[in-house]
Chain A
Amino acid sequence: MRFDQSKAWPHPVLRPPAYGNDYPDAEFEADIDVLKTPGSTSVSVKVVYQLSDPDLLRLIESDRANYVLLIRATGTHYREAIVSGQDNVDQQLPSDALLGRVTLSPFVVCREDVEEFRSAGWHPDFGTRSYEIRRGTVLAEDMPKDYWIDIADEKPLGSIIGHKSASSIGDGHWKIEIDDDRIWIVMSNADSEQYNKARDRVNETSEGQYLMNGLYLPALVTALHKIDQDAKGYFDCKWFASLDKRLEDIGGSELGTNADRLVDAQKILEAPMLRMPLFREAND
């Protein structure tokens, strides 16, 4: 069941205020935390449900309704509903169950038939009506939340910044492209060949640090500035959460703010200037 903003339910459903006012004074919200184990796809999900309608709360307390978190990962074809009578849920998911985009949809669902359901919190338009509710019926829903689970999340920046060639670019120049998968350093075909040869030697020689300073640092600064200008537009990109987490780790401002990204990029790349051979030699 997908969240449909304009869905017309045959009975009153408590939804986010922007998408319906069947319950004008009540709210249903789920605070979801997805915690990843570094370097693996093992994930635990913590949810705190906040429900304010007394009649719906009574149904849950009397075990006639449940909180449900529907987890779907299309990449692994994983699908599971975590059903609970508690407003606080902490569940470990099987390793490798989730990869790529994961959608978490919170609901309140009736767990048995209710013959004459009504709530004092309904909009006056419903008058004194009551509804026959079948078990499984959705009584409340919150907006689904998307997360990206990627085993590359914890790897160096190479998982976020990639390199490709384009014949439209002249030799000696390069530019940045940002798409769903990666932030790309794009250069001419000839330069790209040279770059690949140079990169093959990165681990053999300390001069590899010049690539870090000459390409990766300006690429990251440029990309961060671009993303800051349209963070909402980039929010669904695969790398977004990972990059935002890196900024958080180094004490930087979250994406979408007017921060000094030159400083942030140097922190993320762990002060690359100091690793350049000329600098190191000068210090020796």
Chain B
Amino acid sequence: MHITFNRVSANYQLGPIKRANILTDLSAEVKPGSFTAVIGPTGAGKSSLLKLINGLLLPSVGEVSVGEVVFTSKASKQALKQVRKRVGMAFQFPEHQLFAETVYEDLAFGPRNFHMTDSEIDATVKHVCQLTGIDQSLLERSPFSLSGGQQRRVAIAGILATKPDILVLDEPAAGLDPAAKKQILEMLSNLHRTEKLTTLMVTHDMDDVVHYADDVIVMAEGQIKAHLDVRSLFADQDLLDRYQLDVPTALSLQQQLEQAKGERLNNRSLTLTELADNLIEEGWV
């Protein structure tokens, strides 16, 4: 499903007092079925960009289109409902949205809001449990009795239960231990592939960008500064320097090695395997 931003500006203005724009004059197109990482310093407008896709923030100027739904500053309730059905959104620490008495009820919350029948809901809950690896035995437990990692899983399952075509994630692995983090990200990456979900993910971890994303949107000062594929991003040292972006572990190691040796490798390595290959190929080891 296509997402396009057409010269969008937005702010959190309430009432008549003028506020500075959070996002200014954005234009971008996210390809259907792609996995796009959104990176940039804090306050760059990453989360606001995600909210635009879901109609939680409306453009003050310009238009956003998600699939065949187009919305501008005056979006109808109907259009918003449609878009929210299409787009699943996980905020930072999504487990804070858990509320129901049982995991089952929490997973059923989204489908109920979108008026699915009871049998459909039952099937959907079973399905998302399978997708996210939640054991059936957990369904009758209270979500508050689960561990942090499991809560996160349930929260994400609750978002998937609305059967979105687009998944929008704001640092889905923040605050988890490395093992749980890897599990969650692997799960999301699998979902992206098997369910053909167009995925956007805000992240600060460049290794995650390398491992999971196809494309990258670089944001700063409320604007999209660059939208390119992962390899081109890390090939462009100017761009990385200008927005003070980190590099993946492998590339950072390569740069240290190059500095120590006073020579350069021909290719920039993004993963450790690549780095090892490059080192062997050029006879450094």
The answer to whether A and B interact is no
Which residues of A pack against B, CB within 8 Å? none
